[in-house]
Structure 1
């Protein structure tokens, strides 16, 4: 299946997701986000990035990912990692920069955004970063 076909399939799945205030939405959307990340990696590492078409496809994948991540982050059932990923994207910060900003290891940021458990002390610091970035991006 081509990149464009795969993206169209994922967009169709997004259009049929449950209501965003349901826990089922977060679970189903998380699966689509995972597929979008895989498609991004596959597309960006392909040797076929010559010319505008593959670059435009990559841009469409990333816009779709960001829009869905924003929806997930607004859900009352969003995880800390999903909220962190969304505000980090809006603030245009890398995982390295977010880790440095709150004094945690890079692996903690990557882990929490991947849905792995995070130690309580790190969770509190990360929630503080989410709150600060959320306020900063809302004011901008």
Structure 2
């Protein structure tokens, strides 16, 4: 079953798709709806859902209608999110012109990132207690979305004009990453990346200083904080450092 249409051009960022996908992901988590449930009910398979939520593909109209029903959104909300509306919009808006595939509109990227970050922030207010088994998976998923948004914003800054709105959006992303990482680190059994981030921030260490102290490359610290797997010997060095600098 094909649920999505691919992006128009590989490698180009469609800020509307990023905005709509991130908002849908935040709404799904807010309602505690699993990917498995959506697949089991024949709404959208897991691979297609992940691709949509990460802004890489666009659901077909029939699939969007089913998603909107389960997300408790008015019909047409997902399309209006792509056009520039907020998730709370219930009335259709006139179509807005999207950037062409050959270029990136920095202002639209900033708007897309800002809207998606606010959706994640809203979803964070309904997180369960830190000792709930569902807390860490939800925080980890939110952080993954935020880091993708950070990558979109930094990429736009590299290839386009750095505007105040883009800087504001990038700041909002990083502030939310900071807040969620520090919160996530308080949970029992929190992932190494979240504990590393919190310990490094409390100790006022840069990524470079942390890497030097652990005897690992800077890229290893970045990767672990982003939740990426690393060789056991590298993870062990980081674990040892966290135990030494976690001055709570």
After the TM superposition, which residues 3-82 of structure 1 pair with which residues of structure 2 at under 5 Å, given as runs? 3-46=113-156, 47-50=160-163, 52-82=164-194
Greater share of helix residues, 1 or 2?
1
Q: Which of structures 1 and 2 has the bigger CA Rg? A: 2
Gaps of 5+ in 2: 1-18, 20-111
**TM-score when scaled to structure 2?**
0.48
RMSD: 2.1
Contact 2:220 2:230 (C-alpha < 8 Å) held by counterparts: no
Contact 2:196 2:238 (C-alpha < 8 Å) held by counterparts: yes
Contact 2:150 2:174 (C-alpha < 8 Å) held by counterparts: yes
**TM-score when scaled to structure 1?**
0.80
Secondary structure of 2:130 counterpart: coil
2:221 to 88, 91, 109: 109
2:211 to 93, 99, 121: 99
2:195 to 41, 61, 83: 83
Secondary structure of 1:41 counterpart: helix
RCO (CA 8 Å, sep 6+): is it higher in 1 or 2? 1
Rate the CA distance shift 1:8–1:48 in 2: closer, same or farther, 3 A: farther
